[in-house]
Amino acid sequence: MYVLERLRRAVRELLEFVRGVDRALLEESVSALEGEYLELEYAFLIAVLGPLVGVRTITPLLSLELLDTLKGELRVLASRAFRGEDVLGDLMSALGGEW
């Protein structure tokens, strides 16, 4: 009886360990996907807003057509400009440049 109880406890601990590893892998995967999403979002912002500030990535006409997809980001930029913050400086520092 004692051996059976120890075996049950060992199996229970092994299952908890496997669940913990599974949970850790899931959280690590989610954080990696979030990082990839941010990088793709930054690349899209550079591609769309770049021609408007002189960085040649795509044609300015295509950039203007894609501006509709950036409504949320443009609202943030407009609110910062309204409050008197340096919008272009923030944008360039977010893109990795110096202003």
Q: pLDDT value at position 28?
A: 94
Domain layout of the chain by residue ranges: 2-95
> What is the SS3 assignment for the chain?
CHHHHHHHHHHHHHHHHHHHHHHHHHHHHHHHHHHHHHHHHHHHHHHHHHHHHCCCCCCHHHHHHHHHHHHHHHHHHHHHHHCCCCHHHHHHHHHCCCC
Between 75 and 77, where is the model more confident? 75
What average pLDDT is seen over the chain?
81
Q: What is the mean pLDDT of residues 50-74?
A: 79
- Per-residue pLDDT tens over the stretch 10-50: 999 999 999 999 999 999 999 999 999 888 888 888 888 78
Q: What is the mean pLDDT of residues 7-11?
A: 93
Between 75 and 9, where is the model more confident? 9
Closest CA to 77 of 55, 48, 54: 48
pLDDT band for 80, please (50, 70, 90 cuts). low
pTM attached to this predicted model: 0.52
